[in-house]
Amino acid sequence: MNRLQISAVAAAALALSATSAMAGPSYTFSISAGTQPTNVGVITLTQNNTSVDVNVDLLAGYGFLNTGGPHTPFAFNLSGAGTPTIAFTTPANGIYASGVLSLNTGGGDNTPYGTFGVAIDSSAGNGSGAAYYGDLLFTLSRAGGLDTTDFVANAGGYFFSADLTDGRNTGAQAWSTRTVTGTPGTTGTPVPEPTSLALFGAALAGLGFAARRRRQAV
């Protein structure tokens, strides 16, 4: 290749890497086990470019709390390297009437469902009166990107756990069954978006044209 051709390939590769996105499928976790009913909440994971949106949709009247024991308001596991960061949508900025929700990358427990590598803690005190009642929506990100398939089960086979209350009864809940609700992509691998594919295709076409002209000139 001459310098012009090499530059075209390099530019196409750069555009491809700059506009790529993760391609994890959407997952739904609707079956759970624990103190509360088995349909107490549905968890949905949705790929959002290189981040993942997490939506925990609880039944009306239920909330996340601290009860000790040890129990953690919400916990899960992530595979791969890098420290995740969080942006809360609901409650806004993680702030609610009794406290503040925050990401704990040291993890947490939810007896009897085991230990999890990442947790969401609350600054509020123990008990139903300090619980956050409502759905939990947040976006997780990390350097290098995060894929929905990076959410993995712990040693007990549970992907998520929560410490929940209905205002009277409290107890741990865990989700171990997931359903694919979107089109699966390649696990953890950036997938080109249409624009970057077009750029790359144009560069290849240009190389082909240049090669034909060179052959004709010989």
DSSP label at 129? G
User: What pLDDT does residue 215 have?
Assistant: 53
User: What pLDDT does residue 169 have?
Assistant: 87
User: What pLDDT does residue 22 have?
Assistant: 67
34 Cβ neighbours under 8 A, 6+ residues apart: 40, 113, 164, 171, 172, 173, 174
User: What pLDDT does residue 182 have?
Assistant: 56
CB atoms within 10 A of CB 214: 11
Contact status, residue 139 vs residue 44, Cβ threshold 8 Å: no
Average pLDDT, the chain: 81
Residue whose C-alpha is closest to residue 121's, from 66, 61, 45, 42:
66
Q: Using one digit for the tens of pLDDT, what is the confidence trace for 112-171?
A: 999 999 999 999 988 899 999 999 999 999 999 999 999 999 999 999 999 999 998 899
User: What pLDDT does residue 212 have?
Assistant: 55
For residue 55, give both structure tokens: 């939506």
Contact status, residue 180 vs residue 26, Cβ threshold 8 Å: yes
Rounded average pLDDT per 10-residue block, the chain, 218 residues: 47 42 87 89 97 97 86 95 97 97 95 95 92 97 97 97 93 95 44 43 47 54
User: What pLDDT does residue 106 have?
Assistant: 95
